[in-house]
Amino acid sequence: MLVSLHIENYALIRESDIVFGSGFVTITGETGAGKSILLGALGLLLGQRADTAVLADKNRKCVVEAQFDIAALSLQPLFAEADIDYDDHLILRREISAAGKSRAFVNDTPVQLPFLKALAPHILDIHSQHQTLTLADSSFRFTLLDNLAAAVHMADAMPAYQGIYQEYIALKRSLEALTAEEAQNRREADFLQFQFDELAAARLVAGEQEPLEQEAQLLAHAETVREGLAAAATLLDDDTPQAALARLRQTKSTLSHIAPYHPEAESLLSRLDSALIELDDINGTLSSLADTVSYSPERQQQVDERLALLYRLQKKHGVDSVEALIAIRDDLDARLQNISTLDERIHELMEQVDGAFSALQLAADTLSEARRKAGTLLAEKILPLLRELGMPEARFEIAISPAADYGPRGNDSVSFLFNANRGGEMRDLAKVASGGELSRLMLAIKAVGVSHQTLVFDEIDSGVSGDISVAVGALMQRMARQTQVIAITHLPQIAARATQHFKVYKENDTERTVSHIRELNPDERLTEVAVMLSSEPPTPAALQTAKELMNP
């Protein structure tokens, strides 16, 4: 329940503090006095968009703060999900700075507006005279029936359907994506196959490019390399005394004669012997290499053609190695294999979609049946209230018929059929009900589904008067036995039924017009109801009637 409301620098309200009691609360005042400003302030707390236009003093911030007792609402999971500390005593605060910046707090913890919007329907249910039009809104009708179905222990029908519906939609989207992929792949299949065949025909071998490039260099300079190797071998040993090896052998012979007489000569002789062995080996290798190097036009053509193929494929695919070409070839092979198996996967997925749709149909049928039962129950409960509210011949039915397709709310089309007169044709209530009838019907619906949240009615009694207004007041009074009811009204018959009565009025000070709200004591209440019945000052007859209304 709403415990208190503090408003500061909001529209015509300079500063106001209101303490609400439980039960039936009415707010009255002349048109334009500022009654609806209270709803605007509450709207800020419920997450509505902030606007600096509401700042009466542009140099000060606007503050709206409300305190609620939420012990009976079981909102702990909602707070836990948002990681906000829960307390049975809830404090909501909204601030709008002069610069237009808005901040929101829940129990002094900063929060984002989406949390306020998620919290709002659990703590306040606000209805204005214009919101009777929601009776024609399909979303409202579905929510009303499903909530009632939940209340009479059919709570699993809607969640069960929605779970199956989400699974069906997910499978359907997967099938659509796979079918689109298959169509795209089919269009690309020939090109992919051509690319794969070209790379497969190349018989690519990892690491082959570098040896081929080296061989190509050798073949291009084969004669020069062979001649160089042969010349080097000749310089080392050509069987003449001038050859390097012949001179070294002569040097060795000379040192061998003096080695017995000089220790260093023996060491040099050993080193020279090692050098001769190494040079003999080098000479043999030079000769062997020279014999192996030969120019082959056929081999050079093979190497050049192979390298040309590799370079062309690398340029075509935008890579710089044989290994990268092999990776592309393998990827193409996998894609082609995938194309070949798509038909089978699509067929399997189609079977899953068909199975999910069959389950969806069963869940939708269960949901429809739950709604029919809830609709029958709702109509049975509403009709006595409509008679009480001055429509003794009214008939009200809820018709459930199949919709064109399955949607998030099932496969139903919900119609509220109504006629206020005996023998009249039952038609959609939006087409046959007057404004007053719609207001009473909405009030009856609210009375049927009374919960622990605070109900706020903003002139929902519009279009009713006389004895009917007395009945409306009596019904609101009964509703207030179960939850807090706050009604903004122009009708004395309703104001008289309240357990707490506030009056909104305007005053002009030296700077501007200011709205005030204050709680009336019993004598002031009597006078206010009498004024609403007649004029100010009230007549003795109006005072007497007011007493009778307040003490039925």
Helix (H) or strand (E) holding 344: helix 322-388
Mean of the pLDDT values across residues 95-111?
A: 90
Q: What is the pLDDT of residue 546?
A: 92
Report whether 22 contacts 484 (CB < 8 A). yes
- Same domain for 330 and 235, yes or no, is yes
Least confident of 25-29, 298-302, 308-312, 364-368: 298-302
Instruction: Write the pLDDT tens digit of every residue in 5-17.
Output: 999 999 888 899 9
Are 9 and 144 in a shared domain?
yes
User: What's the pLDDT tens digit per position in 382-424?
Assistant: 999 999 888 888 999 999 999 989 998 899 999 999 998 887 7
What is the number of structural domains in the chain? 2
Contact status, residue 83 vs residue 100, Cβ threshold 8 Å: no
The answer to whether 424 touches 379, Cβ cutoff 8 Å, is no
The pLDDT confidence band at residue 36, using thresholds 50, 70 and 90, is: confident
CATH code of residue 46: 3.40.50.300
* Alpha helices per DSSP H over 152-236: 157-201, 209-220, 222-236
Inform me whether the pLDDT recorded for 113 exceeds 70.
yes
Residues 58 and 104 in one domain: yes
Tell me how far apart the alpha carbons of residues 435 and 464 are, in angstroms, rounded to a whole number: 9
90 and 190 housed in the same domain: no
Q: Is the backbone of residue 325 left (phi > 0), alpha (psi -120 to 50) or beta?
A: alpha
Q: How would you classify the pairing of strands 102-106 and 89-96?
A: antiparallel
* Tokens found for residue 287: 């000769």
In percent, the amount of the chain with pLDDT more than 90 equals 34
pLDDT of residue 531: 92
Yes or no: say if 442 and 127 are a contact pair by the CB < 8 Å rule. Answer: yes
Q: Are residues 46 and 126 in the same domain?
A: yes
Q: Are residues 142 and 193 in the same domain?
A: no
What is d(CA 259, CA 256) in angstroms, rounded to the nearest whole number? Answer: 5
Whether the predicted pLDDT of 33 surpasses 90: no
Residue 133's pLDDT is: 56
CA distance 519 to 4: 12
| Closest by Cα among 463, 498, 468, 495 to 480 | 498
Distance of CA 236 to the CA centre of its chain: 85
Return all residues near 494 (Cβ < 8 A) that are at least 6 apart.
Answer: 26, 461, 469, 472, 473, 476, 487
Q: Is the pLDDT of residue 337 over 90?
A: no
Per-residue model confidence as pLDDT tens digits over 195-206: 888 999 999 999
Residue 291 has pLDDT above 70, yes or no: no
- Give which of 162, 173, 167, 175 is closest to 356, Cα–Cα: 167
* Residue 353 maps to a domain: no
Give 231 or 402, the one with higher predicted confidence. Answer: 402
Answer whether residue 527 is part of any domain.
no
Is 350 part of any domain? Answer: no
User: Could you give the 3-state DSSP secondary structure of residue 20?
Assistant: coil
Last residue of a domain, one of 278, 306, 338: 338
* For residue 34, pLDDT beyond 90: no
Separation of alpha carbons 386 and 329, rounded Å: 78
Question: What is the number of other CB atoms lying within 10 angstroms of the CB of residue 358?
Answer: 12
Answer whether residue 448 is part of any domain: yes
Is residue 275 domain-shared with residue 398, that is, in the same domain?
no
Helix, coil or strand: residue 136: helix
| pTM exceeding the 0.75 threshold for the entire prediction | no
**pLDDT number for residue 302:** 85
Tell how far CA 127 is from the center of its chain: 28
Q: Give the C-alpha separation, 124 to 454, whole Å.
A: 5
Residues 440, 486: one domain?
A: yes
Q: How far apart are CA 170 and CA 249, in angstroms?
A: 91
214 and 94, same structural domain?
no
* Structural domain includes residue 535: no
Q: Do 461 and 469 contact (CB within 8 A), yes or no?
A: yes
Q: What is the mean pLDDT of the chain?
A: 85
Pairwise pLDDT comparison (114 vs 276), residue with the higher score? 114
Examine residue 51 and state whether it is found in any structural domain, yes or no.
Answer: yes
Q: What is the pLDDT of residue 440?
A: 85
From CA 338, how far away is CA 335, in angstroms rounded? 5
170 Cα distance to chain centroid: 16
- CA–CA dist 459, 437 (Å, integer): 14
Instruction: Round to whole Å and give the CA distance between 359 and 357.
Output: 5
Q: Is residue 63's pLDDT more than 90?
A: yes
Task: Calculate mean pLDDT across residues 358-372.
Answer: 92
Q: What is the mean pLDDT of residues 268-291?
A: 79
- φ, ψ of residue 327 to 5 degrees: the values are -65, -40
- The per-residue pLDDT for 130 is 60
Q: What is the rounded CA–CA span in Å between residue 25 and residue 485?
A: 6
Q: Do 117 and 253 reside in the same domain of the chain?
A: no
Contacts of 215 (CB under 8 A, 6+ apart): 299, 303
Q: What is the mean pLDDT of residues 82-98?
A: 91
Amino acid at position 219, single letter? L
Q: Indicate if 197 and 331 belong to the same structural domain.
A: yes
Domain limit, last residue, from 313, 338, 363: 338
The average pLDDT across 374-386 equals: 90
| Cα angle for residues 448, 444, 376 (degrees, 5° grid) | 60
Handedness of CA 429, 432, 436, 437 (dihedral sign): negative
Split at pLDDT 50, 70, 90, the class of 542 is: very high
Range of the domain at 262: 185-338
* Residue 431: partners with Cβ closer than 8 Å, 6 or more residues away: none
User: Which tokens in the block code for residue 112?
Assistant: 């984002």
Q: How far apart are CA 218 and CA 292, in angstroms?
A: 12
DSSP letters for 356-406 = HHHHHHHHHHHHHHHHHHHHHHHHHHHHHHHHHTT-TT-EEEEEEEEEEEE
Q: Are residues 114 and 198 in the same domain?
A: no
In a domain, 374, yes or no: no
Whether 443 is covered by a domain: the verdict is yes
